[in-house]
Amino acid sequence: MSDKIKHVTDASYQQDVLEAELPVIVDFWAPWCGPCRMVGPIIEELAETYDGKMVFAKMNTDENQDTPAQLGIRGIPTLIVYHDGQEIDRMVGAAPKQRLASKIDALLAGLAESK
């Protein structure tokens, strides 16, 4: 697993995600989830590509059930993007790398414009 990906828990979610200085994308996943296993390597590649621009995090929903429940996550994989502690985008289900990269590029461009 890439060292560019932060593994967050219910206990660390506030500090690691909501209080992060950079935008954060959190991959909510579980080991038994086939589509999650498809998205995993894509998230690792994107974490390398966007290093220094965005934080990539993963939360195992089997081991951490409180945060996903509070966020209303009903299906995995779910990717949620945060900026300044606020959810700014949510994607449910597996998506190809190019689609995720395009979405991230658009989000980062929008955040740069709003500064």
Q: Active-site positions? A: 33, 36
Assigned CATH for 5-109: 3.40.30.10
> Is the predicted pLDDT of residue 1 greater than 80, yes or no?
no
What does the mean pLDDT of the chain come to?
94
Domain residues of the chain, as ranges? 5-109
Alpha-carbon separation of residue 58 from 75, 111, 112 (angstroms) = 15, 22, 25
For residue 3, the model assigns a pLDDT of 82
pTM of the complete model? 0.93
Least-confidence region, from 1-15, 23-37, 74-88: 1-15
The tens digit of pLDDT for each residue in 83-92 reads 999 999 999 9
